[in-house]
Structure 1
């Protein structure tokens, strides 16, 4: 057996549920500038054969990334996993720079949407808000150095092992949090 029996070419698309396909397509176009590219609508689910009419819409998220949504009118109203905090499950999109992130924040707020952040994560900064379906959206701008990313990759196995044993935050990357604390103390966004 080879070390990597499957060679992935990236994510084809990530799919989520929406309340209203048209509203979702319009919101992602207006707020995030995504182009609506494709739709599939069926009365029967191709993979299972069951009767469950749906509209499946696809949006271009840039760089070959595709975000898709299903509207399922015959299913119970969509909800969220009440056992998982609202901040955990989210869609995160990459921004080109910190300046673009701040401009995006102003744009989203001008749409009448509440925005949290920017939040400093040491090697990237993010803003957060919710789409009309209740999905949390994150826009993130990388700000770390090559050395910082290399160090995070180096300590990742140790952090995972320690977490698996203790279920407490490993301290292998405390330096990362110190960067964010210092910038926050200085009053930078």
Structure 2
């Protein structure tokens, strides 16, 4: 049962997984250049031949990396798989750029110095009104940003009526987007919905995917879970 709660929504980023053909280089960059400590590196659960690495942003947020033989053989194409610049184009649904948070203006400038001290060019800060940002590149054509805000974004000031109209968003839709419906479920957990091709779907082979959709949640959890860490540590 889902409790009646207006907070039935994501409350932050747990981890963002980045594909890589060189996980060591990515880990070296994020640890040395950005100062994020390595906290996990293991065989990815349920994905044969793949490695999964995590570097820590905070106690509840990480940047993750996935390396597999298939990724190593996949071609990078600027303007398709990667934007290459903060304003560059890339394919719909891909990550155009990612911005990490820092506490304040002083931390932003300190991070600029840290990154430059490792020989990596950094541009900014640029004041965007609701945040200040610096921009730089990471390995394998990542487009990266660090940002800081003094307050939450004020939707009254930052939702542009011109862009709303150009995006085809009606007044009714805008009101719904600004105040999403609350959700609660006083009954039993909901089963998978009926298959609707118009909805977003993962791209597993069709027969496998349909079998996954028909699998009860408790069975899926039982069969897919892997809770044992690769290194056994003594209880404290």
Q: TM-score, normalized by length of structure 2?
A: 0.56
Q: Which has the larger radius of gyration?
A: 2
- Structure of greater relative contact order (alpha carbons < 8 Å, 6+ residues apart): 2
1:157 deviation in Å?
A: 8.1
Structure 2 residues without counterparts, runs of 5 or longer: 88-95, 170-236
User: 1:10 corresponds to which residue?
Assistant: 12
Is residue 99 from structure 1 mapped to residue 136 from structure 2 by the alignment?
no
Q: What do the CA deviations read for 1:6-58 (whole angstroms, capped 9, x no partner)?
A: 5435333111112211121121111111111112315xx727xxx5x211101
Change (3 A) 1:9 1:123: closer
1:99/1:9 Cα in 2 relative to 1: closer, same or farther (>3 Å)? closer
Instruction: Answer whether contact 1:126 1:140 (CA < 8 A) is retained.
Output: yes
Cα distance between partner residues in 2 of 1:5 and 1:110: 42
Q: What are the superposed Cα offsets for residues 150-187 of structure 1, whole Å, 9 maximum, x if unpaired?
A: 3x356538566323139xxxxxxxxxxxxxxxxxxxxx
Q: 1:54 aligns with which of 44, 50, 53?
A: 50
The structure 2 residue matched to 1:82, chosen from 79, 84, 87, is 79
Unaligned runs of 5+ in 1: 167-189
Bigger proportion of residues as strand: 1
Aligned to 1:69: 65
Q: Please give the root-mean-square deviation of Cα atoms over the aligned residues, in Å.
A: 3.0
Normalised TM-score (structure 1) = 0.68
In structure 2, what is the equivalent of residue 128 of structure 1? 135
